[in-house]
Amino acid sequence: MRFPKIIRCKNEAEWLARRAKGIGASDCPTVLGLNPYKSALELWAEKTGKVEPADLSKVEAVQWGHKLEPAIARAYMKETGRAIRNPGEYTIYRPPEIEWLLATPDRLVKETKTRPLGDLQIKTVGVHMAGQWEDEPPAYVQAQVQHEMAAMGVEWGSIAALIGGQRFLWKDLDLHDTFIEWMLGQLSAFWDLVQRDIPPEPDASESARETLHKMFPRHVRKVIVAMPSTACELDEQLVRYKRAATKLKARISERENKIKQIIGEAEVGQLPDGTQYTWKASEVAEHVVKAHTKRTLLRKKGKAK
C-alpha cells in the first residue's frame, strides 16, 4: 500500500472546489465512455468553467442515496463481519505523484492481521436499473472502485448496494493492474485537454448536443469561420448519412402504415408468434412552450468555382 495525501475539507464548498481541480471517481466512467448520461465534452466544459455543473444535491434519488448510506453500511458490516469506518464526508485522497487523481471513499474497510485496508463504495440502485446488477456490478461502478483504489493506494475494494430498496448485495474487487494502467492513460489524456483548454471531440449523445448549445447559445452576426479541409470529409459523411436516413425513414413509415391498415379499428394486432402491435388513440392537450433561443444547423450548397 502507498501512503496517499489526505485532504480534509472544511465544508461542501471547499470540497467541490477541490474536486473541480481533478478527476474524481464519479468522473472516471464519463472519461472512459462508460456513462450513458454524460459525455466527456460535458465533463470537460464543467472542468474548464464553460458550463455550470448540475446541482445533484437537489435530485431526489441523490438525496435518498445519501440518507440510506448509513443503513447500507450497517448491512455490509452485518453480512461480511467486517469493521468499517467513515473517513469523513469531505475527505479527499490522492496519490502524491498524481495531483489530479482524486477520491472521496464512502467508507474504509478496516485492516486486520490477514487483510489490509480496503475501499468501500456504497450504491443505492433504483428498480429500473436492477437488470444491470443481475450478474455483477456494472462496468461503470467497477471502474469507479478501481479509480478509488488507485487514488488511495490500496489493493482491494468492495461494493455494497441496495437494489430497488429491497435487495442487498456486496462484492469484492482486487486492484486490476492492466485496467489501472489503461485507465490512467485515458484520464491523463483527458486532464491534459482540460489544462490546455482543448475540447474533446463530441460524440453522438444528447449530453454532447446540449453542451454545445450551452457553450454557444447564440451566433455572432455576419461572422464566417474558415473551416479546415478536414471538415470536407465530415460534410460528405453527413450528406451521405442523411440521404440514407431519409430512405430508411420512408421504409419504416411505409411498413408502419401497412401494419396500421391491417389493425384497422382494432386496438391490438397479434402475429402468429404472439408478438403484438397496439394502435391506441389518445388525446393531446394544448400546451405552451416556454420562450427560448434555438440554433439550427442548416447546409447550403456552395457555388462551383
CATH number of the domain bearing residue 9: 3.90.320.10
Ranking 58-72, 112-126, 157-171 by mean pLDDT, the lowest is 58-72
Whether the CA torsion 108, 114, 116, 122 is positive or negative: it is negative
| Predicted confidence (pLDDT) at residue 140 exceeds the cutoff of 60 | yes
Residue 246 located in a structural domain: no
* Burial of 143 from C-beta contacts in 10 A (0-12 / 13-18 / 19+): buried
The CA distance from 29 to 178, in Å, is: 17
The CA distance from 260 to 266, in Å, is: 9
For residue 4, give the 3-state DSSP assignment: coil
Q: Which residues constitute the domain of residue 111?
A: 5-204
Q: Which amino acid is at 305?
A: K
| Predicted confidence (pLDDT) at residue 293 exceeds the cutoff of 80 | no
Q: How many helices (H) and strands (E) does the chain have?
A: 8, 9
Mean pLDDT of the chain: 92
Give residue 214's Cα distance to chain centre.
18
The CA distance from 146 to 186, in Å, is: 14
Residue percentage of the chain with pLDDT more than 70:
96
| Predicted confidence (pLDDT) at residue 227 exceeds the cutoff of 80 | yes
The CA distance from 253 to 255, in Å, is: 6
Q: Confidence band (pLDDT; 50, 70, 90) for 299?
A: low
| Predicted confidence (pLDDT) at residue 283 exceeds the cutoff of 90 | no
Residue 166 located in a structural domain: yes
**Residue 81: which region, alpha, beta or left (left: phi > 0; alpha: psi -120 to 50)?**
left
Q: Are 129 and 79 a contacting pair, CB within 8 Å? A: no
For position 176, what pLDDT does the model report? Answer: 96
Residue 275 located in a structural domain: no
| Predicted confidence (pLDDT) at residue 64 exceeds the cutoff of 60 | yes
Residue 54 located in a structural domain: yes
Residue percentage of the chain with pLDDT more than 90:
80
This prediction's pTM: 0.85
Residue 37 located in a structural domain: yes
| Predicted confidence (pLDDT) at residue 294 exceeds the cutoff of 80 | no
| Predicted confidence (pLDDT) at residue 265 exceeds the cutoff of 60 | yes
Burial pattern 78-104, b for ≥16 Cβ within 10 A else e, equals: eeeebebeebeebbbbbbeebebbbbb
Residue 89 located in a structural domain: yes
| Predicted confidence (pLDDT) at residue 208 exceeds the cutoff of 60 | yes
| Predicted confidence (pLDDT) at residue 286 exceeds the cutoff of 60 | yes
Q: Are 134 and 167 a contacting pair, CB within 8 Å? A: no
Q: What is the mean pLDDT of residues 45-59?
A: 89
| Predicted confidence (pLDDT) at residue 98 exceeds the cutoff of 60 | yes
Q: Of 131 and 194, which is predicted with more confidence?
A: 194
Pairing, β 107-109 against β 91-94:
unpaired
Number of domains in the chain: 1
Residue 40 located in a structural domain: yes
- Residue listed under C-alpha cell 470540497: 15
For position 305, what pLDDT does the model report? Answer: 54
Long-range contacts of 123-129 (CB under 8 A, 24+ apart): 123/65, 123/72, 123/159, 123/160, 123/161, 123/162, 124/61, 124/64, 124/65, 124/68, 124/69, 124/72, 124/161, 124/162, 125/161, 125/162, 125/163, 125/164, 126/61, 126/164, 127/163, 127/164, 127/165
Q: What is the mean pLDDT of residues 8-30?
A: 95
Q: What is the mean pLDDT of residues 185-212?
A: 97
Q: Confidence band (pLDDT; 50, 70, 90) for 80?
A: very high
Residue 113 located in a structural domain: yes
Angle 177-196/139-152 helices, nearest 10 degrees?
A: 80
Q: Are 215 and 221 a contacting pair, CB within 8 Å? A: no
For position 298, what pLDDT does the model report? Answer: 61
